[in-house]
Structure 1
Amino acid sequence: MTSTLISSNLSSSFFPSQTLRRIRIPANSIPGGCSIRTRRSKIVSKSLDLPLLPFSMSEVLVPTESKTLHLYEARYLALLEESMKRKKNMFVHFILDPISISESATEASFAARYGCVVLIENVERLDVGALVSIRGAGRVKISRFLGADPYLSGEVRPIQDRVNQESIYELTSKVSQLKESIKNLNSLEIKLKAPADAPLQTPLINSLNWAEDERPVECDKSFLPSLQERLSFSAFQPISGSSKSELSRLQQEKLKAMDIKDTVERLELSMALIKENISSVAAKLAIQSLDIR
C-alpha cells in the first residue's frame, strides 16, 4: 500500500497549544449535513464523540484515501491511545482553517472544515513515536468542541450525499464507467513505474478496492457512505510521477469532491479527472518509450 508519510508536528506556529485552548469557531463556519435518510425515509441524527486531529488546508483527506502519519508528540500519542482503546480505532482528520486573525484580536478564529472519520489500519511502534496507517471512511460535521487538553475532541455528525431515486440508473452506469477507467489508469501506471520491484497496486486501485470491500466495520453504519458514494471518492489519488502543479490541482479537486452533496455530480468530476490522468500517463509512457535521458 502506497501512502504519504507526514509528521504529526503540525507546527507550533500554525497550531500552538495556547491557541488550541482558546479556539472560537463561528457557528456559521462549520459545514452542515448532520441528517441522513434511512431506508424508511425517516430523518435520523447520529453523533459520536471522537478525538480530532487538525491539519493545514493543503492536507485534506477524502473517504477511501490512505495516509501514514508519524505521531511523536505526547498529545498526539495520547490521541492515538484513546482512539485505539476506547474509540474503536477511530478519530477525525479535519482542516483547521484560520478565518479572521487581526492584530487587535484577543482570540483566534478558525473554521473547522472537511472533517473525515478515519479508521486506524495499522500501528508500527518506533523508538520515537509511531507510524500510523489510517483510512478515510466518511465525511463528518464537527458540531461542537468538547475539549483541548491534551488534544482536541468533539461531537461529530455524519455527512452523506442526497439520494435521488430518479438517478439510480444513471448512477449505476457512471459507477461502472469509473471502475473501468480506474483499472485502465492503474494498468498504465504500472507500466510507467518500470522497476521490477514496483508494487502492482497504485494508490488509485487501492482506494477502489477498499471502496468495494463491504467488510463489517465496528463504527456506526450511519458514518459510512453508501457503496456508490465511496466509489465516487476513489479517483482522487495522486498518480505516479505527479508534478507539483498536478498535485496542487488534485488538492483543489479533492476540496470540490468533499463539498459536493450529489454522488452523480462527484462521479462526473471523478471521470473528468481520470480522463486527464490517463492522457498524462499515456504521454509519459510515450516519452519513456523513446528512452530520453
Structure 2
Amino acid sequence: MGGDPVDEPFLNKLDMGVVFSQQNSDLQEAVQFPMAVPLLPFPVEEVFLPGSVKTLHLYEARYLAMLEEVLSNPGRNKFIGHVVVEQLGDPVGSRASAFPHAFVGDNFVMLMGTLCRVLEVKSLQVGALVKVQAEARIAVTRVSQVQPFVRGNVEAVQDGPLQDRQAVQQQLQQLQTTMQDLQNLSMKFRSKHTAALQHAMYWWPKAPLIPAAAAAVEVEATPSSSSSSSSSSPDSAVLLKEDQSSTSEAANNNSSSSSSGSSPAADLAETAARLSFAALQHVPEASPKEQLKLLRCSVNALETDDTSARLALAQQHMGESLQLLAAKCALKSLQLS
C-alpha cells in the first residue's frame, strides 16, 4: 500500500536526511475533535496500539502527497490516522459487529484506528521514512475523500468509568512490576523490540496528549450519591501517589500535572488506561506463536472500552512473556558459562 513497516537493519543501510523531527519535544498543544485527518489503511495484522512506535516507508505518489500535506499543517502536531480495514467480502467481514466503533462503508469496514503523531521524517532516494507514535484510539465517523488518498473525520474513543478503583489500582501496580522486570530482562538481548518496549514504558506515565479515559473525569466531576462506593475512600489518593513514586525517574521527569486540578480517581483512570495499551509490546526472542497471541491480545485491547479488562489481558499475556523470556535468559547464561 506504499506504507510498509520498516525494520531497523534496513534503516541503518540507507543514507538519509531528516526533513522533520519532533522526537525530543514534549511541548503539546490542545487537540480538538472531531478532526479531519488522512487515513492510512492497514490489515488487521498491523494493528497499532497507543504507546507504540513504528517506522513506515512511504513511496507511492499518493502517500507522498499525503505526507506533504500533513507536514504543511500549521499546527505543531502532525497527525495521521492508522486504521484497520477489511473488505466486506472477506470471510472475517462479519467481525465488524464485534467492534462498537467500526465504520461501515459501501464495500469495506474500518474496524478500529489510532491517531498517530509524526515524530520524524527522513527523505530517501525513493520515498520517505516516517516514524509515528500512536497516541490514542479513534473512531472514523465519516470518509470525506478517497482520492488521491483517504481522508476522514475521526473522534477520540475513551474508556468508560472505573467500576472498582481499588482493584484497578492493584492491577496497575502488578502490571507495572511485570513490565519493569520484563524491561530489565529485555536489556540482555540486542533487539529492536527492546527499544520499542523502553519507548512504551517511557510514554505511558507522561501527560496525555489525548486523554484515554476522559469519561472517568466527567463521572468524577459529578460524584455518586452512594456513600459506600470505593471512590469516596481517601486510600485511592494515597495508593496513586505510592504508585507514581515507583515510576522510572526518566518518565516522571517528563510527566506533568496535566491533571493538575483533576481528582486522584481521574488520574488513576488515565494512567491505568495508558499502561494497559502500552504494555502490550513485542519482546525479544518471541516465537511466531507468541507473536500471534500478542496480535490477538492487541485486537481485543483496541476493541474494549473496559480499562480493568484490558489491564487483566495485558497482565496475563505479558506475565507469560516474562516467564518465557526469563527461561531464555537462563539458557543464554548457561551457553555462555
Quickly name the TM-score band, shorter chain normalised: 0.7 to 0.9
**Aligned position for 2:42:** 55
Q: Is the 8 A contact 1:182 1:205 kept in 2?
A: no
Instruction: Give the Å deviation of 1:124.
Output: 1.0
- The whole-number CA distance in structure 1 between the counterparts of 2:284 and 2:112 is 25
Does structure 2 conserve the Cα–Cα contact (< 8 Å) formed by 1:144 and 1:156?
yes
Quote the Cα distance in structure 2 between the aligned partners of 1:72 and 1:153.
18
The verdict on how the C-alpha distance between 1:140 and 1:200 changes in structure 2, with shifts beyond 3 A counting, is: closer
**Could you tell me how far apart the structure 2 residues matched to 1:199 and 1:125 are?**
22
Tell me the SS of whatever aligns to 1:146.
strand
Residues 75/199 of structure 1: CA separation in 2 closer, same or farther (3 Å cut): closer
Whole-angstrom CA distance in 2 between matches of 1:201 and 1:92:
25
Name 2:186's counterpart in structure 1: 189
Q: Call closer, same or farther: CA 1:256–1:223 in 2, change over 3 Å.
A: closer
Runs of 4+ in 1 over 6 A off after TM superposition: none
Shift of 1:224: 8.1
Counterpart for residue 154 of structure 1: 152
Pick one of 266, 271, 278 that aligns with 1:227: 271
User: Residue deviations 1:231-267, cap 9 Å, x none?
Assistant: 1111111100112221111111100111111111111
Q: How many Å apart are 1:210 and its aligned residue? A: 0.7
Q: Is the CA contact (8 Å cut-off) linking 2:85 and 2:108 kept in structure 1? A: yes
The match for 2:199 is 206
CA distance in 1: counterparts of 2:80 and 2:213, whole angstroms: 14
Match of residue 39 from structure 1:
none
Between the aligned partners of 1:199 and 1:96, the Cα distance in structure 2 is: 27
2:84 aligned with 1:95: yes
Provide TM-score, normalisation by structure 1.
0.75
Task: Give the letter aligned to residue 143 of structure 1.
Answer: T
Alpha carbons of 1:71 and 1:178: their partners in 2 closer, same or farther (altered >3 Å)? Answer: same
Q: Which residue of 2 aligns with 1:173?
A: 170
- Quick check: 1:162–1:261 contact (8 Å CA) kept in 2? yes
> 2:284 matched to 1:236?
no
Relative to total residues, which structure has the larger helix share, 1 or 2? 2
Normalising by structure 2, we get a TM-score of 0.65
Is 1:111 the counterpart of 2:99 in the alignment? no
Q: Which amino acid aligns with 1:208?
A: M
Amino acid at match of 1:121: L
Matched-pair contact (CA < 8 Å) for 1:137–1:224: no
- Structure 2: 5+ residue runs without aligned partners? 8-31, 92-104, 215-269
Q: Is the 8 A contact 1:5 1:70 kept in 2?
A: yes
The answer to whether structure 1 residue 5 and structure 2 residue 2 are counterparts is: no
SS of 2:88's equivalent in the other structure is: strand
Structure 1 counterpart of 2:65: 78
Aligned length: 238
Query: CA separation in 2, counterparts of 1:232 and 1:92?
Result: 21
Q: In the alignment, is residue 283 of structure 1 matched against residue 318 of structure 2?
A: no
* 1:74 to 1:163, Cα distance in 2 relative to 1, 3 A: same
Shift of 1:54: 0.3
Q: Distance in 2 between matches of 1:116 and 1:161?
A: 14
Partner SS, residue 131 of structure 1: strand
- The RMSD of aligned alpha carbons is 2.5
Q: Secondary structure at the match of 2:308?
A: helix
Is the contact made by 1:52 and 1:91 (CA closer than 8 Å) also made in structure 2?
Answer: yes
Instruction: Find the aligned partners of 1:224 and 1:125 in 2 and give their Cα distance.
Output: 36
Task: Give, in whole Å, the separation in 1 of the partners of 2:166 and 2:327.
Answer: 34
| CA distance in 2: counterparts of 1:101 and 1:200, whole angstroms | 31
2:255 aligns with none
Counterpart contact for 1:138–1:224, Cα < 8 Å: no
**Does the C-alpha gap of structure 1 residues 291 and 223 become closer, same or farther in structure 2, counting only changes over 3 Å?**
closer
